[in-house]
Amino acid sequence: MASTLSRTLRIASIAGVRAGIRVASARTPIIRPGFAQKSAVRAFSVSRATFDEQPRLRLGSPAPNFKAETTHGPIDFHEFIGKSWTILFSHPADFTPVCTTELGAFAQLEEEFAKRNTKLIGLSANGLDSHEKWIEDIEEVATNGNKVGFPIIADPERKVAFLYDMVDHQDLTNIDTKGIAFTIRAVFIIDPNKKVRLTMLYPASTGRNTAEVLRVLDSLQTGDKAGVTTPINWVPGEDVIVPPSVSNEAAAAKFGEFRAVKPYLRYTKYPTELLKK
């Protein structure tokens, strides 16, 4: 597994919100499956002005809380996160080809995420009955024998999708002709403080790279614990960068040896000892 993961990470390294319900509201939105498509259309018949005025999620923003039905039962999202890192990732629809391969890929790496104190939770714009049947297909053709061990949010009304800016702009503004708001492929890495630390947005035609998600998680956790940054295509074990805010004296005291390519670009060895603390 280790060699396969390392190779996958190497490949990934090369490849390398607007909220519909205001976060400041005292109410926590409740998402329930089973509403008719017609209700979903009404919910997203918003004006262009309303669309443009909606706040966006930024890196460092609090992750909006919500309550929802999932394949593992009802959740309060912040309670689900607890003291873990969490990766929330969305899919346009059940029983679609690209989404099926993606869910399978996340299932195959679920143990690796768990080793990093990280929970996975998916979202697809369908109800629970559809999700349960779709999981059978995913496990049959896309997980390499693994089970889908993480919950999948049922979001037929696109409420969570809208809250996390997962609704495609064109599809939202074309709601009357297309019939239903379309959910893009989004990835959010959320830390134990409920802060959004990374966002990735993909078009519906392009599958994501789960190993890249894992690589970025490693970078964030390494940076938080060791006070370093990571260069392009970095993977765990490789040299890291000493931040410009750290003086040479402080760098020597903290990291020992380091090499300066430029006064603002200094490398040091992978901080194994710092990460053990």
Residue 21 contacts residue 241 (beta carbons within 8 Å)? no
**Phi and psi for 141 in degrees, rounded to 5?**
-120, -10
| Interhelix angle 97-108/128-141, nearest 10 degrees | 70
Catalytic-labelled residue, pool 9, 99, 123, 153: 99
Beta-carbon count within 10 A of 50 CB: 12
30 SS3 class: strand
Instruction: Report yes or no: 251 and 257 within 8 Å, Cβ to Cβ.
Output: no
- Residue 146 known to be catalytic: no
Beta strands (DSSP E) in the chain are 30-31, 67-70, 73-76, 85-91, 118-124, 152-154, 185-190, 196-202, 240-242, 259-262, 265-268
Maximum pairwise Cα distance, the chain: 64
CB-based contacts of 7, cutoff 8 Å, min separation 6: none
CA pair distance 221, 161, nearest whole angstrom: 26
Q: List residues with catalytic annotation.
A: 99
